[in-house]
Amino acid sequence: MYSLGSWVALLGALSLSSAAPTEQNITSDTYFYGDSPPVYPSPEGTGTGSWAAAYEKAKSFVAQLTDEEKVNFTAGYSTSNGCSGNIPAVSRLGFPGLCVSDAGNGLRGTDFVNGWSSGIHVGASWNKTLAHQRALYMGQEFHRKGVNVLLGPVVGPIGRIAEGGRNWEGFSTDPYHSGVLVYETVQGVQEAGVGVSVKHYIANEQETNRNPSTENGVTVASVSSNIDDKTIHELYLWPFQDAVLAGSVSVMCSYNRVNNSYGCQNSKTLNGLLKTELGFQGYVVTDWGAQHAGIAGANAGLDMVMPRSTTWNSNLTTAVANGSMEASRLDDMVTRIVASWYQLNQDTDFPSPGIGMPADVYAEHEVIIGTSADEKDTLLQSAIEGHVLVKNKNSALPLQSPRLVSVYGYDAKGPDSTGPTSTFSAVIPATQNYTLWVGGGSGSNNPAYITAPLDAIQAQARADSTAVQWDTTSSDPDVDPASEACLVFINSYASEGDDRTGLVDADSDTLVTNVASKCNNTIVVIHNAGIRLVYNWIDHANVTAVILAHLPGQDTGTAIADLLYGRANPSGRLPYTVAKQAADYGALLHPAQPVAPYGLFPQDDFTDGVYIDYRAFDRDNIVPQFEFGFGLSYTTFDYAELNIQRSAVEATQFPPAATIQEGGNPRLWDVLANVTAQVRNAGAMDGAEVAQLYVGIPGGPVRQLRGFDKVHVPVGETVSVTFPLTRRDLSTWNVEAQDWELQQGEYKVYVGRSSRDLPLTGELSI
């Protein structure tokens, strides 16, 4: 006799399709996501393009394995060596095993590595070159420490839910923006000979009910992201496609269900979208503990389980023997994994896996230095460029050697008692203890050091022969009337495992208003792991400047001092929309909750389609506090001479039998038009501008980001920016044809400073 919880588990194992919600037999018209039938069999990797040699070697290797050895490749394990997961060695064939580990912003759980800026910070930099450099150096650290695969970067969640607990790990709420930066990140890390596992695939947009839970013997399933075919292509799949195009060797499937089928056993998303449509050549690995089916998961496209589970192991060979799984499927799973190892040349130039990953950094162990001196400039520049100046009344910044600077707020100081450690916890309260350089959970990291804001400001005071006063504990501090500038440091924390409970913090806002009531030049710096609203004090007459400082990593204090004192010119731009009030995010403010009558099977209907963040604000004519793409500088930039030129490529639809390569149909990357504009520095300080291109596709959102370029422009000079528009950039997904298609008519083209400050406009005819 099955309990209710057992029936749920059984049905979950059988539900491979992302079609009708079989688990609870929901028939309401609300659930209209029946256009994604199951896809079988799982396509074998073809070794297309640059993968040819790696696949040839891998197939030869796999042919020499026993069945038990093959299964060991597909079922990882956790050990005491400090790696997040491992694949065992096959010594007789010279395979040393694999070590995979977190995180996408620096190696977690070890020593002698750097704490790099987080994904949201990279997104706020809008700097493609810097994203690549950061990734390359970070990959080199993983390489030195014997980590074969970096578990990241993150493009899911993309930030659909404003209170999402892991939004800070991703780059942006825009798929194009995320796609460009994940492409550079994948290429940079893998250039260092370390693989990436891009995550979390797919539609993983909240932490609430991300995993099944059991109370009083009753199981509540993971939340189901109910999503239609058009939306998944135009928004959530988009950046994953860029990651595959960049050559990602691994993709991590997510905890949530997709149209009521668990993400790691969903044949439509794995076999259909990822491996068939996008031509993915690498392997799919579960998020830790995200396996909910045995053979069914393998047949649906899953290649590796982390960690090892009782539902896999020898059951795979048994399934091959009894015909419930093809032997070719097991061989393909192993081939994809081994080919990734060869693809990165880890067979010829790689340290012993896990050599630099001590299980306990306080115990005696071999010291492996992961850092290098040549990283320092990129580490600092990456920290600097993710800061976004959103208010600068009467040019309050940069500071001009003030006689007395007063510093307030818990976020100004460094850790008090112990050094910066990586803490995996989902229950840490809002961090009103010390400066926030990273969020919580598996995306946290282990900095080699922390330069806190107060430390850097005191060093600046020494150089300037000025004075600093501070109070980092009081919520209503005394203010010396001689203070020429009052700096208030607060933060906004988020972590894996929990969604945020709001976008403001009353205690921190009270601190800001208390200081502002006593100081007529109050400058607020917020280290924010996600959207942070500022309506409680943004219009206060004495709040003269505000910086959204995001999560800069270990050089946080040095970076903010350089910006405050003008050694660096702010160039960050927002990768999300800051609303005037929380209600402006509408139904996308809070995560979905289990509700009757299907409380055991939480549902989240993505009826918003592609209309998240700025697209929704534009559609609904909601005026934001600060729009997507917004950011100030210490100088000003003028735009002129918009030029739109069609290329020689015919703007026709795709041929019916296009060859799928890594990244999908190669015709998607045909450049159909080029847009150019001139950017002039009309101010008094050299600076960098983020020129942004938006396109209004007929029948779609008012405008969508389709190009950006960060350019350094000296005072008085003009720089030309060019934006190529590809076929994918100008297409929409046709559900009936199951293909991308161009729209006939006039495409609106906009170029400017942000999603709502676009001085240049034109049209492109298709």
Instruction: Count CA within 13 A, CB hemisphere, residue 717.
Output: 12
Alpha carbon dihedral 542, 547, 553, 554, in 10-degree steps, equals -40
Query: Rounded distance, CA 340 to CA 55, Å?
Result: 8
Residues 6+ apart with CB under 8 A from 453: 407, 411, 412, 413, 435, 487, 489, 525, 556, 557, 560, 561
Q: Are 723 and 693 in contact (CB under 8 A)?
A: yes
- Pull the structure tokens for residue 128: 């493609």
Query: Does the N-terminal peptide bond of residue 527 adopt cis geometry, omega within 30 degrees of 0?
Result: no
Q: Are 230 and 645 in contact (CB under 8 A)?
A: no
Query: Rounded distance, CA 641 to CA 759, Å?
Result: 11
Which residues make beta-bridge pairs with 762? Answer: 749
Q: How many CB atoms lie within 10 A of CB 368?
A: 17
Return the SS3 of 545.
strand
Q: Is-catalytic flag, 509?
A: no
Active-site hit among 287, 332, 604, 670: 287
Return the SS3 of 38.
coil
Query: Rounded distance, CA 152 to CA 196, Å?
Result: 6
Tell me the residue type at 640: A
Q: Are 415 and 450 in contact (CB under 8 A)?
A: yes
Return the SS3 of 160.
coil
Which residues make beta-bridge pairs with 740? Answer: 733
Burial of 359 (0-12, 13-18, 19+ CB in 10 A): middle
Q: Are 260 and 14 in contact (CB under 8 A)?
A: no
Residues of 109-137 as b/e, b for ≥16 C-beta within 10 angstroms?
A: bbbbbbbbbbbbbbbbbbbbebbbbbbbb
Q: How many CB atoms lie within 10 A of CB 94?
A: 9
Which residues are annotated as catalytic?
287
